[in-house]
Amino acid sequence: MRNVLLASAGMFALSAIAPAMAADLAARGPYVKAPPPVAIYNWTGFYIGGFGGYASEDSGNPKMEGGFAGGTIGYNWQAGNIVYGIEADGGWADVNASASAFGITATSKIDALGTARGRIGFAVDKVLFYGTGGYAWVDNKLTLSAGGVSASQSNFHSGWTVGAGIEAFIAPQWSIKGEYLYRSLGGETYFGVPSADINLHSVQFGVNYHFGGPIVAKY
């Protein structure tokens, strides 16, 4: 009889608490899967890349103009949305113009160019808007031709550059960019005659590989 009474008491207690447990489980709701990791893009770190573009002289008749291509190396620091950076680039060029007078043809050709610049910009996750400025140089050759005979002299012109651009990540470690640069380069002496300054407008596009990549955070 004692065992029967104990079993009856146990069944009574279980029947009393079972509805409360069921209500508690119902209140918790269905299981929700955690969201996947989210990539937060941080621009800090080294990068290398390639670029190509087109340049045209600011003034002159005829104007020197043509294309160029080369490589880039740089480093960025990010503080909040502000990105600071340094960048150097250099490449081959075919920016030229020719003029003839009195049976003599003069051809001026920039066959190499480059810059060393600072950058500062505002980052909106994957996209960076920036301004840039610093040192610029070109290697220019002047060739005089007459009666099948020609003579050439090359000079290194240096000066400054300023511009702006936009860069955006298209993959975790890859970005593309487009920028405008104005280059002002001092004159040199060719065949004993001082030349004018070389002022160029240029538009260039590039792709960069970033060694840092994004920061992956879980929410």
pLDDT, tens digit, 9 for 90 and up, residues 8-55:
444 444 444 445 444 454 455 565 665 665 567 889 999 999 999 999
For the record, the structure tokens of 39 come out as 């990539």
Give the mean pLDDT of the chain.
86
8 Å CB contact between 69 and 55: no
pLDDT for residue 71 is more than 70:
yes
Predicted local distance difference test score (pLDDT) of residue 39:
62
For the record, the structure tokens of 180 come out as 């405008």
Q: In the chain, what is the greatest distance between 2 CA atoms, to the nearest angstrom? A: 134
Work out the pLDDT band at 218, boundaries 50, 70, 90.
very low
Predicted local distance difference test score (pLDDT) of residue 40:
74
Percent of the chain residues topping a pLDDT of 70: 79
The residue behind tokens 């509805």 is 19
Percent of the chain residues topping a pLDDT of 90: 71
- Phi-psi domain of 148 (left: phi exceeds 0; alpha: psi -120 through 50; beta: other): left
Lowest mean pLDDT segment, chosen from 35-44, 69-78, 104-113, 177-186: 35-44
Q: Which residues pair with 69 in a beta bridge?
A: 52, 92
Whole-model pTM? Answer: 0.79
Looking at residues 81-110, what average pLDDT do you find? 94
Work out the pLDDT band at 105, boundaries 50, 70, 90.
very high
Predicted local distance difference test score (pLDDT) of residue 33:
66
Written as one letter, the residue type at 94 is D
Greater pLDDT, 135 or 62 = 135
8 Å CB contact between 106 and 153: no
What is the distance between the alpha carbons of residues 93 and 53, in angstroms, rounded to a whole number? 9
Q: For residue 158, what are the contacts with CB-CB under 8 A and spacing of at least 6?
A: 135, 136, 137, 185, 186
Q: Count other C-beta atoms under 10 Å from residue 70's C-beta.
A: 19
Predicted local distance difference test score (pLDDT) of residue 141:
96
Burial of 198 (0-12, 13-18, 19+ CB in 10 A): buried
Q: Count other C-beta atoms under 10 Å from residue 185's C-beta.
A: 21
Q: For residue 89, what are the contacts with CB-CB under 8 A and spacing of at least 6?
A: 51, 70, 71, 72, 73, 114, 115
Predicted local distance difference test score (pLDDT) of residue 56:
97
CA torsion 106-138-133-202 (nearest 10°) is: 50
